[in-house]
Structure 1
Amino acid sequence: MDLPPMQVQVDPNEDTEWNDILRKHGIIPEKPPSPTPIIEEALREAIQRAHENRLEGKDLDELDALEDEEDEDFLNQYRQKRMAELSALATASKFGQIFPLQKADWSRDVTEASKEAYVVVNMISSNTESRVAADLCRQMAAKFGDIKFTEISARLAVENYPEQNCPSILVYRNGDIQKQFITLKELNGVQTTVEDLQKALVDIGAVKDNDHRILPKRTSDEEFHRNGRLRGSKVNNAYNDDV
């Protein structure tokens, strides 16, 4: 009498001689590679990138304050890079104010101008949000001179334009609208701040996310070094915990 085959429960992930035999004969699949080396390598690369980019976003005064802590050649490279960035911004910063816009000049002052730089059109009325938007755009224009900020009464731009749609902020680049905000609702309403508008421009690509003009200033070199050590400690601890 033939006995039925025995049903043996096998954990295919176990490292046993029996499992090796089963894998050799294709009875169970090969054990997948351990993710640990991949995780370790990703963590090492992340730590290395953080170390290499540790000077990103620092202004010239902050770089000077690190002379005793950083390699001189490496620090000079970043100092020259930052000076080049500042020079490029100074060259591009040819606006720096709000430009009143006329409907007849829209093609020239907005569509064509946007082929050279980002153009922000603020269509306003007399309501509260329009006054908030106008003030924010004035601050932004002074801060980001490489972006052209314009302003026009909505009723002069579009006949019978609904006041409840004001302000309407249009962001142009390369002749096309890249983003539009109908009122400040999408930002933060009447509580919208310069920081909210900056973030919107970063999301659009009009401002780089590492632009020194939007990075918060440290209150002191001591706070900067303390926070830097804290961040480094957290990264190293995370790495040690995982490996």
Structure 2
Amino acid sequence: MQDPNADTEWNDILRKKGILLPKEDPNKEIEALEEELIQQSVVKRYEDMTLDELEENEDEFGEEDERAIEMYRQQRLAEWKAKQMKKVFGEVLEISGPEYVQEVTKAGDDLWVILHLYKQGIPICALINRHLNELARKFPETKFIKAISTTCIPNYPDRNLPTVFVYQDGNIKAQYVGPLVFGGMNLTKDELEWKLSRSGAIKTELEENPRQKIEDRMMSAIRTSAPTKDSDSEED
């Protein structure tokens, strides 16, 4: 049986009469394959490029490539912004007065910032700093900052410490001033988390105020142990 792909005079006659399909040009197949590889290479190139590389090489791409490149540029920009957001968070940043504007009021759009003004040697300030260290790791999307009070606000009175300011877009959304607001040295991490969540700065999974639970248990214990009218206590 004769090979229909063979380059013979008989096969040429059959092709002319439409009995055999036209012989495929191997050069065209190679050209098509090369074009496909080039297109894949271009896509792969700008997928892997940084924002700077895209700008440097944008003259090499055609109109269709430009549209695709713009999509990748936007994706890269979003990824870069996300990395910048995560890069400095996850811990409590210590700042001084000159850094206040840059780190707080100009921290970024839609960004929550929690600033703790404190002083060394005040026990409840140290307690809050410990709690904030844990909360910063738990809520890395929020920026936690601490600063010695008088470096940010000259002559700030120690009686107002600890002070916690909550900012969004550079504006104060909540403020907590003095030890009584925090409940003194009995303050737990969960209680501080709940308090800060009321401002919107963090999204807690706590369903109710932990301090309220403690107070409810204390009141229940008091009612249970209180003497009844039939008691023969000294007060009766």
Q: TM-score, normalised by structure 1?
A: 0.47
When Rg is computed on C-alpha atoms for both structures, the one with the higher figure is 2
Structure having the higher helix fraction is 2
